[in-house]
Structure 1
Amino acid sequence: MEIRGVVPGDRAELLALSSRAGAGSPTESIWGHPESEAAVYFTPYLELEPESLFVAVAGGQLVGYLAGCVDTAAFPSEEERMRAAISDHRLFTKRRPLMFFARAAVDAVRPGPKAGELEDPRYPAHLHINLVPAARGTGAADALMAHWFARLAEVGAPGCFLQTLVENPRAGAFFERAGFTDHGPTPLVPGLRYRGARVHQRTMVRDPR
């Protein structure tokens, strides 16, 4: 297993990987349109902050990645990225995304807090990490995290956060082992379903001190 930074020649393989990494998890597909999902949760990291993107390579193939951002406030917000993806990919004309947004509208009127990005100056950085099923349990995720923590130390980031799902206990246990702790409530994620049920956001933070 090799962990390294991204290089220009990785782009096509990385885009393909972003649509299949995470298979079997609650966020394997969010609204059923891989290209637009990548435009929100992967491509901006590749284009705007490639120095914070690390890949895992096994057998000459990319099997996982960690996409990071050292300053969330300086990065396009998830809401901005979502609006652009809806427009660029005409998602309201596609059946599966349309069903997702209809569910999200229904969920939005339910009482209680709703999922959103963390805004806390103590934890300015954030990350997304994904591996294909065959790479899980191989140490690739730990090695990707080690490279990310070295990146945070390099830039002097005071802390970082990530967001996973309550309904993904395996991911939560891994992040706990990596030094992350729970932060705040576990609000509903509008529109998203896993095995037919609503899911809830789990925000976790890590202080390098």
Structure 2
Amino acid sequence: MRIRTFTDNDRAALRTLFERAGQGSPTETLWGHTDSEAAVYLDPYMDLEPASLFVAEQKGALVGYLAGCVDTEAFPSEDTLIADAIRRFRPFRSRQAVAFFGRSMIDAAAAAILRTPTAGQIRDPRWPAHLHVNVAPEARGTGAASGLMDAWFERLRSEQIPGCHLQTLVENTRAARFFERMGFTPHGGTLPVPGLRYRGARVHQLTMVRSL
């Protein structure tokens, strides 16, 4: 297993990996339109902060990646990226996209009426960096994910970043256990995620933090 920094030559292979790396997880796909989802959760990291994007390579093939950002405040927000992706790709030809965004509006409206909070991004100077990590099914348990995390921690130390955060789902128990092994601890409440369902039920955001 080789862990290295992303290069521009990796774009096509990484884009292909993005489509399948989350297979079997509650966030395997969000609204069923790969191009627009990649425009939110992968492309900005390739374009804006390639030095914080790491890949795991095995036998010449990419089997995992970690997309990071050392300063969340300086990075486009998730809401901004989603809005831009919708305008650019107009994914509503997909039934799944229509259902997802329709539920999102209903969930948000219900939360506003009931005055209950929903999931959102964290902005805290103690943990200014954030990351997304994904590994292909065949590479799970091989050390690819932990190798990617180690490379990310080294980058944060080199930039003198005090800590980082990530967001997963309470229902993604495998991921939560892995992050705990990597030194992350839960932070804040476990709020419902608007629009997203897993096996027909609502899911809940789990924010985790790690100081360096």
TM range (shorter): over 0.9
Distance in 2, Cα, partners of 1:170 & 1:47:
30
Is 1:81 aligned to residue 81 of structure 2?
A: yes
Q: How does 1:95-110 map onto structure 2 within 5 Å?
A: 95-108=95-108, 109-110=110-111
Specify the alignment match of 1:166 in structure 2: 170
Deviations 1:8-45 (A, max 9, x none): 11000111111111110000000000110010011100
Deviations 1:110-138 (A, max 9, x none): 44211111011111000000001111111
User: Structure 1, unaligned stretches of length 5 or more?
Assistant: none
Runs of 4 or more off by more than 3 Å in structure 1? none
Gaps of 5+ in 2: none
Tell me which moved more, 67-76 or 112-121: 112-121
Q: How does 1:83-162 map to 2 (within 5 A)?
A: 83-108=83-108, 109-110=110-111, 111=114, 112-162=116-166
In the TM superposition, 1:179-190 aligns within 5 A as 179-190=183-194
Q: TM-score, normalised by structure 1?
A: 0.97
CA distance in 2, matches of 1:80, 1:128: 17
Give the stretch that moved more between structures: 160-169 or 86-95. Answer: 86-95
Q: What CA distance in whole angstroms lies between the structure 1 residues aligned with 2:8 and 2:165?
A: 27
User: Counterparts of 2:124 and 2:7 in 1: how far apart (Å)?
Assistant: 32
Q: 1:45 aligned to 2:45?
A: yes
One-letter code aligned to 2:107: D
Q: What residue in structure 2 maps to residue 69 of structure 1?
A: 69
Distance 2:93 2:178 in 1: 38
- Identity level (%): 61
- Partners of 1:87 and 1:172 in 2: how far apart? 33
Is contact 2:32–2:94 with CA below 8 Å preserved after alignment?
Answer: no
Over the aligned positions, Cα root-mean-square deviation in angstroms equals 0.9
My pick for the range that moved more, 109-118 or 12-21, is 109-118
Q: Distance in 1 between matches of 2:143 and 2:166?
A: 19
Distance 2:42 2:100 in 1: 20
Q: 1:93 Cα deviation (Å)?
A: 4.5
Q: Aligned pair 1:20/2:20, yes or no?
A: yes
Instruction: Give 1:197's aligned residue.
Output: 201
Q: Deviations over 1:127-173 (max 9, x none)?
A: 00000111111111111000000000010111100000000011000
What amino acid is the match of 2:28?
Answer: E
- Tell me the number of residue pairs that the alignment of Structure 1 and Structure 2 aligns: 208
Secondary structure of the residue aligned to 2:29 is: coil
More displaced 10-residue stretch of structure 1: 176-185 or 87-96: 87-96
